[in-house]
Amino acid sequence: MNKNITPPVIEIGIIGWLKKNLFSTWYNTILTLIGLYFIYLIIPPLLSWIFFDATFSGTTREDCTSSGACWVFIKQNMKLIIYGLYPSDELWRINIAYFLLTVSIIYLLIPNLKYKGFVGIFLLGIFPIICVFLFSGGLGLENVETRLWGGLFLTLVIAGVGIVLSLPIGIMLALGRRSKLPVVSLLSTIFIEIWRGVPLITVLFMASNMFPLFMPEGVNFDKLMRALIGVMFFSAAYLAEVVRGGLQAMPKGQYEASQAAGLTYWKMMGLIILPQSLKIVIPAIIGSFIALFKDTTLVLIIGLFDFLGIIQFVGTNPDWLGFSHEGYVFAAAIFWVFCFGMSRYSQRLEKKLDTGN
Amino acid sequence: MRPSKFSNFIFNRNVQGTFYQAITLSLVILGVYYIVQNTAENMMARGLASGFQFLGVESQFDIGMTLIEYSPTSTYFDAFIVGLLNTLLVAGIGIFFATIVGFAFGIMRLSSNWLIAKIAETYIEVIRNIPLLLQIFFWYFAVLRALPKPKQSIEFMDSIFLNNRGLFLPDPNFGEGSSIIFSLFWITIVISIIIFVWSKRRQNRTGITFPAFYVSIALVLGVFFAALTATGFPVSFDIPELKGFNYKGGTRLIPELVALTFALSMYTAAFIAEVVRAGIMAVSKGQTEAARSVGLKEGLVLRLIIIPQALRVIVPPLTNQYLNLTKNSSLAAAIAYPDLVLVFAGTALMQTGQAIEIIGMVMGVYLFLSLFTSIIMNLFNRIMRVGER
């Protein structure tokens, strides 16, 4: 018997792979051909519109003579898209925040670095406080009204506030719902189910129309504040259910062991149960953050100019009518990068945190 | 040192529990009281009367698309119903298409054909990570509003027309004798069900199978076409025609409706595809292998072993997606499709100023839908659990 006969050339290498994955049966061959035809129909025109036939340089719409996309439109409006109507002299304040945010996130993304915990605490605890002073003024900085806030900056502010504030509220609600005290558990359940049962738009309508009625005479929240409160409660209710899932996944022995060791309720939760259960649900929490990030676009319906709102707005500028395709494709690309990045990160984290039990 | 009676008392779990609950309850009651008090004062100051009397008042505004009779002389309650029906219409059409597209992509994602699986994966990853509102804007402003004028409509088979005024579909007209066809159709459906039950029972008793599926299909279609021929095709179509600057006749779907349902179905389909994939993958490989080893054919393995078990996993998250789609249909407000939120929480609220009543009613509708769905789901889970080990 000759052991050195190589497998037939058609079963190995690229040809083997092609045969196995694309042309294994006659109907697979047909499917492959149909798929290739679809790709041929969509990809080349799309690529030439976005890159090959597109105009990148110039300053006015007259420069866009080619059949492709007119990226001059985006370039000329870049300042509005990124900063909104924020005063030009004060843009450095936003830039500092963008810089700090980017550096911290890159630090967190690089594997095997020390002190990641501290960077995380900085990002969730200290950074937001710095931002409050940077953005709205105080401590010697000039006051900037929130109606001037807009663009990608506003989107990140809303998403950031939603994420930072809704997590603690969500954890409290989840603990409340799992509580043995019937009143606490009932109240938390009602609260969670009401927010989860209605669409975010109605929450925002409620925030902008009903909050002014709830407050005493003279107390006035601005539009952004109202939207933030609405977004915060809405997202807290969803996070509460995610956290509750983690609490339920904890084996009973963990509770019993901590009680046997004489820990009080808050020590048991804070030192034993929550650290473990939050770790399990980190991917799900990131999932909620992605949903929240996408949902921030809805604030344009109550008249705030977030990223998408600004894109809509610059599209109605008479100088740039008819370039809505470019605006939407650009916005979609930015949102996609953020959301896809977050979801890939959470998948990686899931693999890393999986301790196998 | 022995603990005193007092410390015994304050460290007692029940006492502490009652104490904390009393504090929580009184804080909540105080908060609610504060809000109610403020609201009452504010409404007094603005001269607003609370209550639902406004529902009987003439609305004095028109709505672009209504499924029931409606005019500016109708009441606010009529406007509420119109909005509700429009929401349910979008949700219904959206759910229908999202299910079909979602199942197709979910199955494609699991295909052994590498290219097909990658195409499905790309679709899912692109659509899921772009905000729905952006997609609705894209389809509405960048695609449908940019369509040609009615004169240069896009045509399909000379009967369906698409232009910037909307989608024009032929309307079926049922002439004399069509009622006979309908009743025959329903009778054959009932007979088919009886055949199914009978063949199942006989198979359980004797093991002899009967091709109930093909027989029923043949029966229903055969009788249907036979009746159609016998009565001389009483069904005609009212095909939209270009008259002046627009199409007349047929059914017109306004561009807002088309864009909204399209975006909603595409978006939700990406999520449904993931649900379907997870459901099919949840059926363990041993099930397929065991089914093959007892000699079942491939089609039967799928129908009798995989699909029933996968459905058990798929249905609860699927209904959740349906609910999401219904809630997301409220984004209609952004492109001025007259749904419940736009008509009632938008126009009606602006005119009457009855913020609390109106937003309460709108939220109530969505809460009812959520509650209703979760009750159905709990029932489904209870029934499905019976067969499990």
Q: What pLDDT sits at residue B100?
A: 93
Provide Rg for chain B, Cα atoms. 28
Residues B95 and B200 in one domain: no
Question: pLDDT tens digits, residue range B16-51?
Answer: 888 888 888 899 899 888 888 888 888 777 777 777
Which range has the worst mean pLDDT, A265-269, A319-323, B116-120? Answer: A319-323
Binned at pLDDT 50, 70 and 90, residue A314 comes out as confident
Chain A partners of B126 at a C-beta cutoff of 8 Å? Answer: 336
Q: Is residue B61 part of a domain?
A: no
Residues B123 and B193 in one domain: no
Residues B182 and B161 in one domain: no
Which range has the worst mean pLDDT, B69-83, B164-178, B184-198, B317-331? Answer: B164-178
Binned at pLDDT 50, 70 and 90, residue B285 comes out as confident
Q: Is CATH 3.40.47.10 correct for A72-86+144-353?
A: no
Q: What pLDDT sits at residue A279?
A: 84
Chain A partners of B138 at a C-beta cutoff of 8 Å? Answer: 328, 332
Q: What is the pTM of this model?
A: 0.86
Residues B202 and B326 in one domain: no
Q: Is residue B214 part of a domain?
A: yes
Question: pLDDT tens digits, residue range A247-263?
Answer: 988 888 999 999 999 89
Nearest to A161 by CA among A198, A195, A136: A136
What's the total number of domains in chain B? 3
Q: What pLDDT sits at residue B329?
A: 92
Residues B280 and B374 in one domain: yes
pLDDT at position A144 over 70: yes
Q: What pLDDT sits at residue B272?
A: 94
Binned at pLDDT 50, 70 and 90, residue B92 comes out as very high
The answer to whether residues B97 and B372 touch, using CB atoms and an 8 Å cutoff, is no
Q: What pLDDT sits at residue A2?
A: 63
Q: In the beta sheet, which residues pair with residue B75? A: B58
Binned at pLDDT 50, 70 and 90, residue B3 comes out as low
Binned at pLDDT 50, 70 and 90, residue B266 comes out as very high
Residues B127 and B269 in one domain: yes
Binned at pLDDT 50, 70 and 90, residue A78 comes out as confident
Closest CA in chain B for residue A213: B39
Tokens of A53: 């036939």
Residues B189 and B133 in one domain: no
Q: Average pLDDT of B135-155?
A: 82
Residues B252 and B114 in one domain: yes
Q: Is residue B66 part of a domain?
A: no
Helix (H) or strand (E) holding B242: strand B241-243
Residues B262 and B306 in one domain: yes
Domain hosting B193: range is 171-238
CB pairs under 8 A between A and B: 150
Which range has the worst mean pLDDT, A272-276, A329-333, B175-179, B289-293? Answer: B175-179
Chain A partners of B125 at a C-beta cutoff of 8 Å? Answer: 340
CB neighbours of B262 closer than 8 A, spacing ≥ 6? Answer: B139
Residue B356 maps to which CATH number?
1.10.3720.10
Give the mutation candidate from B28, B115, B275, B298 for the A interface (greatest A CB count, under 10 A): B115
Whether B131 has its CB under 8 Å from any CB of chain A: the answer is yes
Q: What pLDDT sits at residue B1?
A: 53
Question: pLDDT tens digits, residue range B204-215?
Answer: 888 887 788 888
Q: Is residue B129 part of a domain?
A: yes
Residues B25 and B117 in one domain: no
Distance from CA of A114 to the nearest CA of B (A): 31
Helix (H) or strand (E) holding B171: strand B171-174
What rounded mean pLDDT belongs to chain B?
Answer: 84
Cross-chain Cβ contact A340/B129 below 8 Å: yes
Domain boundaries of chain A, sorted by first residue? 9-53, 72-86+144-353
Question: pLDDT tens digits, residue range A195-212?
Answer: 998 999 999 988 888 888
Whether B113 has its CB under 8 Å from any CB of chain A: the answer is yes
Residues B223 and B346 in one domain: no
Q: What pLDDT sits at residue B389?
A: 44
Per-window interface: B 241-300 vs A, CB < 8 A: none
Domain boundary residue, one of B238, B266, B282? B238
Binned at pLDDT 50, 70 and 90, residue B157 comes out as confident
Whether B193 has its CB under 8 Å from any CB of chain A: the answer is no
Q: Is residue B69 part of a domain?
A: no
pLDDT at position B283 over 60: yes
Q: Is residue B210 part of a domain?
A: yes
pLDDT at position A181 over 80: yes
Q: Is residue B369 part of a domain?
A: yes
Residues B160 and B230 in one domain: no
Q: What pLDDT sits at residue B300?
A: 84
Per-window interface: A 14-43 vs B, CB < 8 A: 21-22, 24, 28, 31-32, 35-36, 38-39
Domain boundary residue, one of B199, B219, B238? B238
Identify which of B112, B116, B363 has the shortest CB distance to residue A198.
Answer: B363
Closest CA in chain A for residue B371: A197
Question: pLDDT tens digits, residue range A264-283?
Answer: 888 999 898 988 888 888 88
Q: Is residue B53 part of a domain?
A: no
Cross-chain Cβ contact A194/B367 below 8 Å: yes
Q: What pLDDT sits at residue A180?
A: 85
Q: What is the dihedral of CA B310, B312, B316, B318, to 10 degrees?
A: 30
Alpha helices in chain A (DSSP H): 13-21, 26-47, 72-76, 78-83, 91-109, 116-121, 127-136, 151-178, 182-197, 200-214, 223-249, 252-260, 265-267, 274-295, 307-315, 324-353
